[in-house]
Amino acid sequence: MSAIREIKRRIKLIKNIQHVTGAMKMVASAKLRRAQSRLYAARPYAQKIVELVGRLALAPEAQSLPLLASREVKKKAYVLIAGDRGLAGAYNSHLIHLAEQCLRREEQPVALVVAGRKGWQYFRRRSVEILKSYAEIGDEPDLSLARELARQLMAIFLEGQVDEVNLVYARFHSALRYDPLVERLLPIQAPSLEGSDSLDYLYEPGPMAVLETILPRYCEIRVYQALLEAKASEHGARMIAMESATKNSSEMIEQLTLSYNKARQNAITTELLEVATGAEALKDQG
């Protein structure tokens, strides 16, 4: 009977966990829809500013601007955009592993800028120089956070603390797919103009004045887009993980219910045998 009670206790416990994972899946699904709408709304603006910077950066004098000028790389910085919470499958571990690979393969000194609690909790215990850390991104990153982060990155680059800044984040494709990747942020590379129209534009007050003004905005929107991509990927990964957990708990409940029925049947059979044996013993005594 103790085995039967233990199986019943486990079934009840797994059902409670199933209710939690099911609720978390619904919450992650709702957050994913909001994150997708924000991401899709930001992509056209990001594409246009990339095209504009690509046109203006073609001018030879553009290389004189500090954010565009290439220089000898003596120290690199990687910006890891991870999640604030777990229970998202292998999402955070994939990004942390990619960041570790980047740090290991560099021969020159490297530093890290961490956005997201999970990345900060991991690397604070490692022997890695952390220049800046943002423990909380939130479920809906806003432009003010991206602007603050972008300005900090531009400041450490222009002050000469690092000579190259790279973003490590997950690009969102769908709830089932995201791609961890590394992209260079600073110095800014002139974006490719393939697929854009070939019209010539007149700029007022002038191409270089416009480019000098727009480059900080370009960095801000690149960081903002990376935050949106990462957050949508995190919500999608959490939704799929909770869906898998709910499905697995259903399978475990089925297996435990089968074991419970078998154990109960064995207990009933044992009781019947004991009754039958007792009856036969009484007959023999009579």
Does 158 reside within a domain?
A: yes
CB of 53 within 8 A of CB of 191? yes
| Residue 278 and residue 174 share a domain | no
| Residue 209 and residue 274 share a domain | no
Looking from the CA of 167 toward its CB, the CA atoms found within 13 Å total 27
Does 125 reside within a domain?
A: yes
| Residue 206 and residue 88 share a domain | yes
Does 45 reside within a domain?
A: yes
pLDDT of residue 90: 92
pLDDT of residue 210: 85
pLDDT of residue 192: 64
Does 250 reside within a domain?
A: yes
Does 251 reside within a domain?
A: yes
End-to-end Cα, the chain, rounded Å: 33
| Residue 197 and residue 169 share a domain | yes
| Residue 57 and residue 146 share a domain | yes
Does 123 reside within a domain?
A: yes
pLDDT of residue 239: 95
- Distance (Å, rounded) from C-alpha 132 to C-alpha 152? 8
Number of domains in the chain: 2
Ordered per-residue pLDDT tens for the chain, 286 residues: 678 888 888 899 999 999 999 999 999 999 999 999 999 999 999 888 888 888 888 777 888 888 988 888 999 999 999 999 888 999 999 999 999 999 999 888 999 999 999 999 999 888 899 999 988 888 888 889 999 999 999 999 999 999 999 999 999 999 889 999 999 999 988 766 565 554 567 777 777 888 888 999 999 999 999 999 999 999 999 999 999 999 999 999 999 889 888 888 887 887 777 777 776 777 766 5
- Distance (Å, rounded) from C-alpha 66 to C-alpha 163? 11
CATH of the domain at 17: 1.10.287.80
User: Which candidate, 124, 93, 115, 121, places its Cα nearest to that of 227?
Assistant: 115
| Residue 254 and residue 221 share a domain | no
- Distance (Å, rounded) from C-alpha 145 to C-alpha 147? 5
| Residue 11 and residue 65 share a domain | no
| Residue 196 and residue 72 share a domain | yes
Contacts of 113 (CB under 8 A, 6+ apart): 77, 78, 79, 80, 130, 131, 132, 133, 149, 152, 153, 165
Does 26 reside within a domain?
A: no
pLDDT of residue 86: 87
Angle at which helix 207-285 crosses helix 91-105, to 10 degrees, equals 130
pLDDT of residue 69: 84
pLDDT of residue 194: 60
Q: Looking at residue 63, what DSSP letter applies? A: G
Q: Which domain holds residue 17?
A: 2-21+242-285
CATH of the domain at 127: 3.40.1380.10
Which among 238, 255, 272 is the end of a domain?
Answer: 238
| Residue 223 and residue 102 share a domain | yes
Does 176 reside within a domain?
A: yes
Tokens 């479920």 label which residue? 139
| Residue 161 and residue 103 share a domain | yes
| Residue 272 and residue 143 share a domain | no
| Residue 98 and residue 220 share a domain | yes
